[in-house]
Structure 1
Amino acid sequence: MQTILITGATSGIGKACADHFQDMGAELVLVDQQTGDGIIKGDVSDPEFWKTLDLPALTGAVVNAGIGSFSFIGDTDFAEWRRVMAVNLDGAFLTLKAALAAMQRGGSIVVTASATGLKPVPMTAAYGTSKAAVIQLARIAAAENAKRGIRVNAIAPGGVDTNIWEPMLDPERDRAEQIAEMGADVPLGRYATAAEIAEQVAFLMSDAAGTMTGAVLTSDGGFTL
């Protein structure tokens, strides 16, 4: 049986991954700052949280917890920069470190990055930089752990219909209509669903991915082309 750690598990891509792997019969360790059924409440950026978390032997991990931030460099204060780096980068490092220690007989890890970590997009200074960094972190982890039989890959979604967009949406307008309008600018003409990204994460973690390690799966509807 698979035993999989998933962070950021109460919403968006993390929730979709939890649903997907639960349907596959996996045993799940779910972590989030929000409470919920079967959720271990904790701050992934806090080293003390990881010291107190007694992880079982893992076969997989989805390093997914993250927060958005949208502002120009000149308008981004240092406190906001550090807030994003703490969750998106420090949190990914601590999660990855804990997951690697809990993998005794090989395994597979997927780190959630972003297309903004590959393409310079205005107003994503903190977010895009943090996601570029986690891509490199995943690749280093892949290089360090291949001989242990542990594969580490990253997925770089473009626009995905999740609550990360809520600060940018007009509460007086239909949400689905606004998401569709934003997605219309992507070459394929729409944003992905969280369930689609979860299926791609599951592929990267499966035996079907073969020897894939240190790869970055770009799933952005052509945004970075």
Structure 2
Amino acid sequence: MRSHPSRPRTPGALVSLLACLLLGTVALGGCSSLEGSGDKGYVTSDGQVEVVAPADRGEPIELEGEDLDGKPLSLADLRGQPVVVNVWWSACPPCRVEQPDLTEAAAELEGDAAFVGLNIRDSSSDQANAYVRTFDVPYPSFYSADGKALVPFYGTLTAYTVPATVVLDAEGRIAASVLGALPSKQTLVDLVNDTAAEAAADDAAAGEDAS
């Protein structure tokens, strides 16, 4: 596990990524230099875990859209607690392998963190909903067949990084990421708990200063 400063999100870079997504290169990998994906369209190795120090975190991630049933969904509504965002698609074998770990982590962290999926590439929400039913996924997912929902995560996620998991802090900033399948359920639980502990320590310090 290693720490790194968040990469700058420049307007030009965002435009470039969006252009790639609109041209359909999500499926072809044309916007990514990630190795180990081959022509499968997903990451084949265990996830690479990276942690971002609080002082190095960027702006809060802003993402609004619709869930798999067409209902409004927003990351802003989940602020005030750690949020786990998992990128997946129904035909991705590593996504299926890691889903039980995600489901168990969501149950273990219920009340302490929110979970939300980010579904890309599925040509219809019916495919995505079939996956949700098969694996009994307990949390909602953004539906973004064209991958545009990845744009706010530029600098951490690429158009070709799936599966991937991001942990946002209580302010909505990227605190940690796992590129590839989760190494284990405990890895994710530890990342979330560490992020929550930071917020608790900050609150305690603020209380001491106020007194």
On whether the aligned pair clears a TM of 0.5, the verdict is no
Larger helix proportion, structure 1 or 2?
Answer: 1
TM-score by length of 1: 0.27
Highest relative contact order (Cα 8 Å, sep 6+), 1 or 2? Answer: 2
TM-score by length of 2: 0.29
